[in-house]
């Protein structure tokens, strides 16, 4: 298929087909003798086979139809030809190199197409140079989606409409997670069980039944859910599960039990870092190898640990490798401790709810929410990413605007939507949903950026709803190669080939 984004190394394959400089007779991979009577005409249409109306004799039968030329045998499927009706008239699949043992490919309507491999009939040195060049080009391009090279076959309106729909779907999934977690915690409360010490199964009828607001009057349920989801968001992909387990182990009830009037944060940090298994072994280290801050954390932990009956997490459960230092678990726990201090001692959740009631400008509301969540560094963590290895620079934020926006998008908006909806404050619930669909967020996500690039989106991808839609598109459709279920894929691949 000829595309506007085709690389020079790949278009060289067309020359191999045109010049026909084969060293010997040609045979299909299955061993049938093949004679090229007419190479056909190059196809100028985007998204179709490379050559049209070729005449090829295989065995004693002459076929007239299309020819598709790919770098590798597996490209037939990975490029979506197997589900594209425009390829139903292909009579030959010519490849530079075979990368599997299948001797044929299948069209969308189930017809077998024979394959020939150029590497068997052309000078070996030329083939290897082409292969190396093509692989080098491909490494530069992620090709997260099958249709990236023919994405121009669908219009901007179709793409954005579907992404909007997916973004709202993803938002509703997050809301459902909040509701399920509230039900779980309410169930545990009724049984007087504590996580994560007790293993349990939530009865299916508990998850399915509608929850009543009378069961949700305990604000500790809401604080615990907010706490867990926020810590999960702070953990990124690599540490989100462990961060959530930490929030479940050092739960709201325990943190409130160790709160003091003078400085509760120092005990929150002591509990979180020790239960996380990340605090250095102060007892067995020389004093000069530990800081006063580290030693004080240990002393504070000693003073409260008799109140803790849960498990200590393993240091090996945390991932530091290939993370930017600002995203190290130590930094995120320090930021999380300060955020949960605001929840417990400064009524952060009430402040968030109040902003939705008082602020009517969506852009101003977003800025207000950001300011409630941004955490500037103070003291020790202004010069450290990990324990007892000081930096020669000052770190400004434990939770900056980028991470604050992630928390707003993935935690705050679903959380407050569920709260307003359950307590029959429908106007405010709709305001939350409207904010989600209108605002632009300052979020850095390489997957979203690559998806937006491959879909040829301009500036709309940083809208919250489109941002979430891109993630949902990749995880639900593109990563599973479910092009037939995707409305963009349907537009590109499922059009009938004109007679």
pLDDT per residue over 238-273, tens digit each? 999 999 999 999 999 999 999 876 889 999 999 999
Per residue in 440-493, pLDDT (tens digit) is 887 878 889 889 988 988 777 789 999 999 999 999 998 888 888 999 988 887
* pTM (two decimals): 0.79
Answer whether residue 412 shows pLDDT above 70.
yes
Confidence of residue 200 (pLDDT cuts 50, 70, 90): low
CB atoms closer than 10 angstroms to residue 196? 14
Answer whether residue 17 shows pLDDT above 50.
yes
DSSP E strand stretches across 118-223: none
Separation in Å, CA 479 to CA 60, 84, 242, 371, 483: 42, 18, 25, 36, 10
Most confidently modeled range among 69-73, 146-150, 318-322, 354-358:
354-358
Q: Which residue has the higher pLDDT, 130 or 7?
A: 130
3-class DSSP assignment, residue 1:
coil
Average pLDDT, the chain: 87
172-190 mean pLDDT: 92
pLDDT of residue 432: 97
119-137 mean pLDDT: 69
CB-neighbour burial class of residue 148 (10 A; exposed 0-12, middle 13-18, buried 19+): buried
pLDDT of residue 7: 44
pLDDT of residue 457: 87
Separation in Å, CA 77 to CA 72, 393, 497: 10, 50, 18
Name the least confident of 21-30, 88-97, 110-119.
Answer: 21-30
| Nearest-angstrom CA–CA distance, 3 and 149 | 6
């Amino acid at each position: 298929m000829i595309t506007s984004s085709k690389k020079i190394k790949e278009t060289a394959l067309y020359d191999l087909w045109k010049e026909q400089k084969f060293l010997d007779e040609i045979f299909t991979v299955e061993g049938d003798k093949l004679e090229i009577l007419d190479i056909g005409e190059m196809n100028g249409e985007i998204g179709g086979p490379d050559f049209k109306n070729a005449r090829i004799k295989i065995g004693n039968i002459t076929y007239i139809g299309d020819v598709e030329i790919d770098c590798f045998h597996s490209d037939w499927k990975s490029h979506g030809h197997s589900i594209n009706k425009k390829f139903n008239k292909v009579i030959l699949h010519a490849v530079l190199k075979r990368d599997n043992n299948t001797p044929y490919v299948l069209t969308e309507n189930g017809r077998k197409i024979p394959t020939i491999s150029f590497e068997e009939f052309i000078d070996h040195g030329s083939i290897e140079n082409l292969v190396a060049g093509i692989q080098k080009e491909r490494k530069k391009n992620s090709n997260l989606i099958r249709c990236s090279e023919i994405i121009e076959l669908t219009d901007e309106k179709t793409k954005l409409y579907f992404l909007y729909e997916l973004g709202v779907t993803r938002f509703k999934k997050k809301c459902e997670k909040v509701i399920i977690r509230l039900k779980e915690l309410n169930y545990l409360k009724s049984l007087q069980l504590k996580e994560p010490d007790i293993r349990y199964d939530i009865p299916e009828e508990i998850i399915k039944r509608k929850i009543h607001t009378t069961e949700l009057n305990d604000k500790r349920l809401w604080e615990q859910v907010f706490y867990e989801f926020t810590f999960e968001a702070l953990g990124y992909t690599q540490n989100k599960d462990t961060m959530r387990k930490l929030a479940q182990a050092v739960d709201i009830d325990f943190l409130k039990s160790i709160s003091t009037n003078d400085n509760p944060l120092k005990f929150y940090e002591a509990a979180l870092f020790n239960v996380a298994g990340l605090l250095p072994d102060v007892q067995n280290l020389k004093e000069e190898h530990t800081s006063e801050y580290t030693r004080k954390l240990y002393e504070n932990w000693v003073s409260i640990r008799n109140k803790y009956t849960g498990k200590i997490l393993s240091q090996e459960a945390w991932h530091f490798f290939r993370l930017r230092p600002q995203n190290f678990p130590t930094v995120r726990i320090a930021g999380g401790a300060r955020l949960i201090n605001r929840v417990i001692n400064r009524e952060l959740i009430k402040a968030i709810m109040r902003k939705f009631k008082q602020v009517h400008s969506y852009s101003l509301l977003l800025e207000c929410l950001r300011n409630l969540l941004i955490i500037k560094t103070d003291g020790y963590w202004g010069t450290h990413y990990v324990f007892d290895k000081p930096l020669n620079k000052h770190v400004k934020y434990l939770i900056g605007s980028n991470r604050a926006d992630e928390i707003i998008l993935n935690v705050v908006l679903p959380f407050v939507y569920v709260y307003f909806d359950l307590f029959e404050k429908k106007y405010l619930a709709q305001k939350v949903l409207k904010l989600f669909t209108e605002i632009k967020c300052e979020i850095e996500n390489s997957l979203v950026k690559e998806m937006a690039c491959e879909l040829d989106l301009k500036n709309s991808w940083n809208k919250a709803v489109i941002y979430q839609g891109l993630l949902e598109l990749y995880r639900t459709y593109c990563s599973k190669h479910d092009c037939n279920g995707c409305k963009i894929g349907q537009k590109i691949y499922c059009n009938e080939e004109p007679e």
